[in-house]
Amino acid sequence: MGRLKGAVLLTAGLAAMLLLGGCGGEKESLTVINYGMYLEESVIEGFENETGIEIKYEEAPTPEEMYTKYKSGAIEYDLLCTSEYMLQKLMDEGELVKVDFKQMEHYDNISEEFWDFVRSFDPENAYVMPYFWGTVGLLYDSEKTNGPLHSWDVLFDGSYAGDFIMPNSMRDAYMIALKYLGYSLNTTDEKELREAQELLLTQKPDVSAYLVDEARDEVLAGNAAIAAVYSGEAYYAYAEDPRFQYCIPDEGSNLWIDCFAVTKQCRNTENALKFLDYLCREDNARMNYDYVKYASPFKSMIESYGEEEKNSDAINPSPEKINNCEIFAPLPQETTDLMGELWKELKAQ
């Protein structure tokens, strides 16, 4: 009874209420895991105030680290948000549950093209809800580069040695090397992966840092001329100062979509859907977009884009550039294991 002083006698009526409550008056909650800086805090606070449901919020920097955190079982997560290939892996392992997203009041605010997008790995639209999408490319300070960038070669030809940042993410790092070499980012060919490894090992002395969320801030601070980043990071930088530009390299890149899903550990699917519906609501979609600055699947946001957003490769890439990109697919375990060994070797050098 905490701070109450003296003996407190429960009335029979109150005691009965607590018994009927089933958990002694414990507050309802949802435990959510997401990427860092990927959900506006005031959106969480608004949901808690409107519903009385507490959000216990956890973060992970990459899909692989999120998977490890989830599978450890140390915390039971009700909802998670991650990338398509990791969601497909979790679906294949039976870790996600089917839900009827059409029950949500604001379901129609998600553009149909994005429900179509996720059908490539969730054919019945039964497991995942689109959240943000984009590409991986080059954020650069146009005052420090020799004109506009258009190729991954600036990361490998030595022209910006010590002045660029690579992703501290296994699949993104190998994606860059594989696309530069003309291979699929989903290759399972050991020869191609080892060729990418040699390229990354040769490159490593020129890399100023391997970062994820912090890469954008390092470029903004003038500590690097170029960084391989997710597209939303680039648009955030551009909004700070238009000299910070973004390109999707001509060799192609990764096209990704991050989605929310309900896990098999979820204790209350109805409350989980309430939270997802809250994210779909127009005012919350706007707050989240203004905070995250990634391309949105929500109709209300797409219809409100200004000219700069419409003309930005970070927010609205052309169909030609999208078609030149690939979506990550789950890799066979033997390929994942090999890539993991190569990544450890690279980072240990």
In a domain, 323, yes or no: yes
In a domain, 76, yes or no: yes
pLDDT one-digit tens code per residue, 104-151: 999 999 999 999 999 999 999 999 999 999 999 999 999 999 899 999
| Alpha helix segments (H runs only) across the chain | 12-21, 41-51, 63-71, 84-92, 112-118, 170-180, 190-203, 215-220, 231-240, 269-280, 282-292, 299-302, 307-310, 319-323, 333-348
- Per-residue confidence band for 301, with pLDDT thresholds at 50, 70 and 90: very high
212: which 2 tokens? 């994820």
Asked if 96 contacts 87 with a C-beta cutoff of 8 angstroms, the reply is yes
DSSP β-bridge partners for residue 130: 259
Are 192 and 158 contained in the same domain? yes
In a domain, 12, yes or no: no
Are 262 and 344 contained in the same domain? no
Crossing angle of helices 333-348 and 190-203, rounded to 10°: 20
Are 227 and 338 contained in the same domain? yes
Are 65 and 90 contained in the same domain? yes
Using CA atoms, how far apart are residues 49 and 151, in angstroms rounded to an integer? 48
In a domain, 18, yes or no: no
Are 220 and 169 contained in the same domain? yes
Residue-wise DSSP of 43-69: HHHHHHHHH-PEEEEEEESSHHHHHHH
Using CA atoms, how far apart are residues 248 and 135, in angstroms rounded to an integer? 7
CB atoms near residue 287 (< 10 Å): 18
In a domain, 31, yes or no: yes
pLDDT one-digit tens code per residue, 199-218: 999 999 999 999 998 999 99
In a domain, 271, yes or no: yes
In a domain, 21, yes or no: no
Average pLDDT for residues 219-241, to the nearest whole number? Answer: 96
Are 94 and 227 contained in the same domain? no
Strands 29-35 and 54-60: parallel
pLDDT one-digit tens code per residue, 24-82: 456 899 999 999 999 999 999 999 999 999 999 999 999 999 999 999 999 999 999 99
pLDDT one-digit tens code per residue, 103-116: 999 999 999 999 99
Q: What is the pLDDT of residue 188?
A: 98
Q: What is the pLDDT of residue 27?
A: 85
Number of compact structural domains in the chain: 2
Are 201 and 303 contained in the same domain? no
pTM given for the model? 0.89
pLDDT over 90 at 4, yes or no = no
pLDDT one-digit tens code per residue, 172-183: 999 999 999 999
Are 105 and 62 contained in the same domain? yes
Using CA atoms, how far apart are residues 45 and 4, in angstroms rounded to an integer? 28
In a domain, 16, yes or no: no
The kind and range of the H/E element at 257 are strand 255-262
Are 147 and 209 contained in the same domain? yes
Asked if 164 contacts 225 with a C-beta cutoff of 8 angstroms, the reply is yes
Asked if 291 contacts 239 with a C-beta cutoff of 8 angstroms, the reply is no
Are 144 and 100 contained in the same domain? no
Domain extent at residue 251: 135-255+317-348
Are 269 and 173 contained in the same domain? no
Q: What is the pLDDT of residue 9?
A: 33
- The dihedral through the CA atoms of 104, 108, 109, 110 has a sign that is positive
Q: What is the CATH number of the domain that holds 337?
A: 3.40.190.10
**pLDDT, mean over the chain:** 93
